[in-house]
Structure 1
C-alpha cells in the first residue's frame, strides 16, 4: 500500500474516533436541550449570581455608570478607575480564573488552583499599575513593543522577543490584501501568549531554575509563533478570496500531506498567479513546521500531529459547507465545530510537549463548543455577509423551513449549564466566572450592534423560552462588574494595531511628501556669470546631494517645526537645507580614501571616485559654508533665536569632527561599550539632536523640553548607528545601495565587532526602549517620533 495512503487511513480512523466522542457529547447536549433543562437550571444559577451583580439602582448609579464609561475610553485610565473604586481585584480575579479554566484547563474548584489564580492576579495588578508616572491616556506600556521587550529582559528571553517582533512585522508585510491585517496579527499574538501561558504555568508549578525557565520560555515564544502562523497563513487564507478555488485545493492537499507524512512538500508548480507572494508563505510555514517537529519528543509527537490533523480536517469540513444547501443535519453543522474548537486548544498544550493529562483534555474538549458558539454569535453578521455557514447564519436562513434545526443560542445556554454542573460540579467560582462571561458577551454585542439590531437578535434566537429570555434581558440591562481583562486587551490591541497602521501610513506619506519638497529645494543653482571653477564645485556638491538620500534629519526637523510647533514650512526651509548640506558634507569626508575609503554611496560612486579627492574635499567645505549661509537666512524668526541656532550648529559641527576623529583613532582597537556609545553619539546622535533641537530653539520652547529632546536623540541616534552596523554585517547590498562588510574590511570598531550580532540587537532594543520611555515622559509626545523609532529598528537600508 502507498505509505501516504496508509497514513491517511490511519489519520482518518483517528478522526472518526474523535468524531464519535464529539457525537456522544453532542447527543447529551441535544437531550438536555430537548427537555429545555437549561432554562430552569440557569434560572436558579442566576438567582444566586444576581446577589453579586444587581444590588439595586440608587440615584447615583447612573452617574457611576457614566464615570465608568468615561474611564473605559482610556485603556490605562480604566485600570486605575477600577483600582480607585476598589473593583480591580475582583476584575483581575475573574479574568485570570477564566484563563485558568478555558486555556489552561485547570480544575477551578481545587484550592491550589485558586491560590495560583490569586497570585497571578496580584502579579498582574502590580504590573498594570507600575507605569503610572509615564502614561498620559495613550497606549498602555504593557501592550507596547517596549513593554514586551522589558518583560523579555526580566525573563532572560530578549533574543526570542526580538525574533518574534521581527517575525510579526514580516507577516504583516506579506499578508495578502484580502485578509484583515489587524485581526490576523491579533490572532497570532493571542496564540503566542496562550502557549507562553501554558509553559509559565508548568514552570511556576515546578519552580524551575532561572536558566531552565528562560530556555523553555524562549522555546514557547517560538512554538507559539509557529503554531499561531497557521491562523493567518492557513485558516484565514483558505477562507479568503486571495486564492482561487484551484489554488485552495492545491494548498489544502499540501497541508494534509505535511500533517500525514510529517514533511512539508516542495512548492513545485502552482496553479495560479499568486506564486510570488505564496512563496514567502510556504517558506515561513515550512520553517515553522520544522521547528515544531524538532521540538516534539516521541511520546508527544503522535498526540500533536493527531490533534493537528483533527483540527485541520474539521476546518476543511466546515469550510466546504455551502450556505445554499438547506439539507445539512445538526450533526453536520455542530460536530466539526466541536472538534476544531477543542483541538485548537489541545494543540496549544501538546505543541509544548507537555505530558498527556486526561482531566485537562476532558475539560478542554467540553469547553470547545462553548467558545465557538460565543465567537460565532459575536460574528454572525460578518459571517452572513461573507456567505459562511455557522450555526447562527444557517439557523437565520432556514429556521422557518427546518423545524428540526437546533437553535444555537439555546444550545449555547445548554452548554453553559453543562459546564457549570457537569464539568465543574456546580462549583460556585465556576458558576460566577462562566455567567459573568456569558452576560458580558451579550452586553458587548448590544454595544457593538446597537439596541435595535440586538433586539432583533433576541427576538430571533431567544423566543423559545420567554421567561428565561426576559431574565437574560434584565441581567444584560442592569448587571454590572462582568467585564474581563482579556476582552479589554483584545479591543485595545485591535485599536492599537489599526491606529498604528493609520499612523504608519500617514508617517510614510508625510516622509514621501516632505522628502520630495526637500529634494526639490536642495540643488544649488549656478549663476550665469559663475566661473568655471566654482561651477565645478557646485556640480560636485549637487552630485553628492542627488541620489537616494533618506533626508531623515531635515524631515525630522520639518515634522517637529511644522507639525509640533506650528512654524511656517516655507520659513523653516533654509534650516532644512542647512541640515542636509551639513550631513552630505560629513558623508563626503567620511568616504575619502584617508578616512573610510568608501567606493559607493547611495547606490552610486562616491564623489572622490567620480571626480577626485581634492574636488571632494573642497565640495565638502563648500557645503558647510552653504549650510551657514542658509541658517543666516532664517529671517522670519527672532534674531536672538537665529543666532542661538547658528552657535549651536557650529558647536554641533565641531562635535561631528570630533566623532570622526575618534572613529579614525579607534581603527584596529577594541573599544568598551561606553567608549563606543560616546563615539556613536558624536558621529550620529548629535545630528539627530540637532534636527530636533534647532526647530525647538526657533520656536522658543522651554529648556526642560529641549533637554528631553536631547535625551531622546541620544538613544535614537545610537539605535540608528547600531542598526547601520547590523545592516553592514548582514544586510542586502542591493537594497542598501553600497557594499556590505565595509566595517570589517576597514577594521572599524562597531557594535557588531565588539558585541556580536545578538548582543548588538539587544543594545539596539535597549536604546529603543530608553528613547520610547523618554518620549512617554514628555509633555508633547509626537506620533512622528514614535514611528521614527519603529522605522529605525525595522528599516532595511
Structure 2
C-alpha cells in the first residue's frame, strides 16, 4: 500500500470532516436558539394558502370519488389531468429534481426555463401513455420504450449493454437483499448521471458528441451505481461474516486509496463465489470510471470516493448499545456521506468545478438523509443501525444532551430556505411540499396510531409549531411528487415482472414435462412382432432435451388467452412438436447442415442412418396432420381451416430451408435474410400462436396482429440463435458452437456483425412488443415469452 497516498486520504477526510463540523456547529446553534420556529411558522402560513382548500359540496363528492390511491399510476395521472392539477404537480416534481440531483437554484431564469421544457415534454409523454389503450397495458418503464428512446439518441449499444448488466446483477443478488430495490437504485443512479451529463450539454452540442457523452454517462452511471448494491447494501445486509466484512472493506479502501484494484487472493469465508463475482464486476466498473477521468478531475473523484466510503464505514461500525456517542458522532458522518454521494456524480462525469453548485450540494445532502432516516427508522431499529432517529429513540430519556433529530430536520429546512437559497419563494414552496408530503406518506404507511406515537416522541419543544405541522399534515393538499409515484410504480413493475416471469418459467417447466409424456408414439398392434426402425427413430428424436417452446406457447394461447379445453387441444400440442422435430431432422442431414449433435445427443442420422432419418422426418410430418384430424371437439370447418393453414406452414418451412441451403457461401441482404428466417423459423412460431386462435375462431384482424407479433418474435429468436452460435456455451446449448461460420452460412452476425445483430434483435423485439399493444386482449405471457427469447442462454 502506498503510505503517501494513505496520508493524503486521511488528510482529505479530516479536511472534509472539519467542513462538516463547521456546518454542524452552525445547525446546532440554530437548533438551540430555535430560529427555525419563527421563520418556518411564517413560511408555512404563507405556503398554506396554496394547499388548504375549502371544498364545495360538489367538489367534495367529486374529490372523494376521483382522488385515487396514488399507487395506481395511470389512474392517478388521469385524475391529475381531469382536475387540472397535472401542471403544478409536474412543475414542483421537476423543480425538486433540479434542486436535489442537479443542485440548481430555482431563482435562476435559465433553470426555470429548463424546468418548463422538461415539464412540457413529460406532460406530452404522460398524456400519450395514459390515453393509449386507456393506459391498461402501457408499462411506462418498458424495455421497448427505453430502446426507442436510445435509438433516437444513438446509444442503442450502451442500452443493450446496461440491460444485460442489470439482468446479471439482479440474478446475482444474494438472499437477504432486495433484488428489485437494487435494480431500482441502479436505474435511479444511471438516470442521475445521465441528467448531470445532459445538464453539461446544450442545444449546440453536435449529435455525434451528444451520443458519445450519453453512451459514456450510461456506462459511468452503472459503474458508479454498482457500488450501492455491492458495497453499501451488501455490508449492511449482514450476509458476510465479520471476518469477511473486514476483508472486503479493506479491499475497497485499498482500491480507493491506491487507485488500483488488488487481486482477491485467498478468501476466508463461505461467500467465495459471491465475492469472486462482485470483485470482477466492481474491478471492471472501477477501471472504467478511472479511465474516463480527466487528469484535472481524477484527484477530486478519489477524494470524494474516499470521504463517501469512510463516512459510511464510520456509521456502519457504530453499535446501538453504545450510550456514549456525541451529537457530533451522530451527525457529522451523515453530513459527509449524504453530500459526497452526490458530489461524486459530478466528478464521475468529469464536470468542471462549480463552487456555488458544490456548496449547495454539500448543504442539501443532510436534508435528504434525515428524511430517509425518518422514513426507515423502524427498519433501522430492527437492524440495530445507528441513525440520529434510532439513537434518539433509545436514549432520549437518558441523554438530555441529545439533539432531537426532528428539530434538526426542521432546522436544516429553515437553513436551506433562508441561508442557502436566500429565501427564494419557489424554493420554499418546493421544500415545504416535500417535507409535508414525507410526513403524510409516513402516516399512511404506519397508520394513525403509530404515527401519533412517533410524533409525540419527536415533538419539538414548541407546542404551537407542532400543532401547525400536524394541521398541515391533516389538511394540506397538492404536496405529492412524481418521483415518488414513479419509484413505487417501477418497484411494482419490477416485482410483477419477476413474479410473472417466474410463473411463466415454472409453468413452462411443468408443461414441458407434461408434453414430454404425451409425445411418445406407441407401436402399432399389427406390427408388434416386427422391429420398427422408423418408430424407434421418431421416439429417439422426440425424447431429446427439447425446449418444447411451440406446444408450450400453444397451450398458453389456447388455455389462457382463449379458454379452450385442456384435453381438447392435446392433439394440437403433439402436432406442433412433431412438425418441429421433423424440421430439425431434415435440417441436421449431411446434405443440409450436417450437424452431429442435437439436443445434447447424436443427431438422428448419426444414431441411425441418413435413409432412416429422411423417412422419419416424413413420418413425423404425417403424424402431425393425423393428430390435427383428431381435434374432434371443434367444429369440422374450423379444423379443416387449421389443417389447411398447417399444410401451408409446412410448405413454407420447406421453402425457408431451401433458401438457407441455396444461400451457403452467398452474401445475403438483410431483407433476404429476414425472409429466409421467417420461412425457416418464424413461421413455426406463428403456427403455435395462430393455430389456437383459429380453433377459437378469432377474427381476422386479431389474427393479423398475432402474425405480426409472431413474425418479429421468430426473427428475434433466430438472431439470438445466431448470437448464441458465436458467444454461447456449448454445454448449455446441447450442440457445438461456431457451426454457422464452419458451414459458411449467412447469418445476422455474418451480415451485420455482433453489435449490429444485437440491434436488429432488439428492433424486432420492439416491433413484436408494440404489436401486443394492438391486441384486444392482454396476453401477458407473450411478453414473457418474448423476454425469454432474447434473454435465453440455450
Answer whether contact 2:133 2:773 (CA < 8 A) is retained. yes
The one of 127, 142, 148 aligned to 2:140: 142
Shift of residue 752, structure 1, vs aligned partner: 0.7
Question: Following the alignment from structure 1 to structure 2, what is the Cα–Cα distance between the partners of residues 134 and 722?
Answer: 30
Distance 1:139 1:220, change over 3 A: farther
1:578 paired residue number: 575
Answer whether contact 1:660 1:683 (CA < 8 A) is retained. yes
The one of 699, 703, 709 aligned to 2:700: 703
1:70 paired residue number: 68
- 2:85 paired with 1:87: yes
Partner SS for 1:212: helix
- 2:444 paired with 1:447: yes
The one of 553, 561, 565 aligned to 2:562: 565
Pairs within 5 Å for 1:613-692:
613-692=610-689
2:265 paired residue number: 268
2:793 paired residue number: 796
Question: Following the alignment from structure 1 to structure 2, what is the Cα–Cα distance between the partners of residues 533 and 613?
Answer: 21
- 2:191 paired with 1:184: no
Pairs within 5 Å for 1:204-219:
204=202, 207-219=204-216
2:711 paired residue number: 714
Question: Following the alignment from structure 2 to structure 1, what is the Cα–Cα distance between the partners of residues 484 and 511?
Answer: 40
Question: Following the alignment from structure 1 to structure 2, what is the Cα–Cα distance between the partners of residues 147 and 74?
Answer: 20
1:248 paired residue number: 245
Question: Following the alignment from structure 1 to structure 2, what is the Cα–Cα distance between the partners of residues 66 and 150?
Answer: 38
Shift of residue 788, structure 1, vs aligned partner: 0.8
2:8 paired residue number: 10
2:32 paired residue number: 34
- 2:388 paired with 1:391: yes
2:594 paired residue number: 597
The one of 200, 203, 223 aligned to 1:202: 200
Deviation by residue 1:629-673 (Cα, 9 ceiling, x = unmatched): 111111122222211111111111011111111111111222111
Question: Following the alignment from structure 2 to structure 1, what is the Cα–Cα distance between the partners of residues 113 and 257?
Answer: 42
The one of 551, 573, 576 aligned to 2:548: 551
Query: Which range moves more in the overlay, 376-385 or 298-307?
Result: 376-385
Query: Which range moves more in the overlay, 422-431 or 437-446?
Result: 437-446
Deviation by residue 1:329-387 (Cα, 9 ceiling, x = unmatched): 11111111110010000011110011111111100001111010001111111111222
The one of 724, 728, 746 aligned to 2:725: 728
Shift of residue 756, structure 1, vs aligned partner: 0.7
Answer whether contact 1:71 1:81 (CA < 8 A) is retained. no
Answer whether contact 1:76 1:135 (CA < 8 A) is retained. no
Answer whether contact 1:548 1:602 (CA < 8 A) is retained. yes
1:223 paired residue number: 220
Partner SS for 1:130: helix
Query: Which range moves more in the overlay, 282-291 or 114-123?
Result: 114-123
2:508 paired residue number: 511
Pairs within 5 Å for 1:92-103:
92-103=90-101
The one of 104, 107, 110 aligned to 2:108: 110
1:606 paired residue number: 603
Partner SS for 2:201: helix
Shift of residue 532, structure 1, vs aligned partner: 6.8
Shift of residue 139, structure 1, vs aligned partner: 5.7
Shift of residue 133, structure 1, vs aligned partner: 5.2
TM-score of the pair, normalised by structure 1: 0.98
- 2:383 paired with 1:379: no
2:122 paired residue number: 124
Answer whether contact 2:716 2:762 (CA < 8 A) is retained. yes
Partner SS for 2:2: helix
Answer whether contact 1:585 1:619 (CA < 8 A) is retained. yes
Question: Following the alignment from structure 1 to structure 2, what is the Cα–Cα distance between the partners of residues 12 and 562?
Answer: 66
Partner SS for 2:106: coil
Shift of residue 402, structure 1, vs aligned partner: 1.1
Question: Following the alignment from structure 2 to structure 1, what is the Cα–Cα distance between the partners of residues 67 and 50?
Answer: 20
1:47 paired residue number: 45
Query: Which range moves more in the overlay, 569-578 or 287-296?
Result: 569-578
The one of 752, 755, 758 aligned to 2:752: 755
Question: Following the alignment from structure 2 to structure 1, what is the Cα–Cα distance between the partners of residues 137 and 368?
Answer: 28
Shift of residue 573, structure 1, vs aligned partner: 0.9
Answer whether contact 1:726 1:757 (CA < 8 A) is retained. yes
Query: Which range moves more in the overlay, 602-611 or 578-587?
Result: 602-611
- 2:234 paired with 1:237: yes
Shift of residue 701, structure 1, vs aligned partner: 2.0
2:455 paired residue number: 458
Question: Following the alignment from structure 1 to structure 2, what is the Cα–Cα distance between the partners of residues 136 and 724?
Answer: 36
- 2:525 paired with 1:535: no
Q: Which runs of 5+ in 1 are unaligned?
A: none
Answer whether contact 1:238 1:248 (CA < 8 A) is retained. yes
Shift of residue 568, structure 1, vs aligned partner: 1.8
The one of 283, 290, 302 aligned to 2:280: 283
Answer whether contact 1:74 1:137 (CA < 8 A) is retained. no
Partner SS for 1:70: coil
Partner SS for 1:541: helix
Question: Following the alignment from structure 1 to structure 2, what is the Cα–Cα distance between the partners of residues 788 and 177?
Answer: 26
Question: Following the alignment from structure 1 to structure 2, what is the Cα–Cα distance between the partners of residues 473 and 84?
Answer: 29
Shift of residue 132, structure 1, vs aligned partner: 4.6
Answer whether contact 1:19 1:335 (CA < 8 A) is retained. yes
Q: Which runs of 5+ in 2 are unaligned?
A: none
2:478 paired residue number: 481
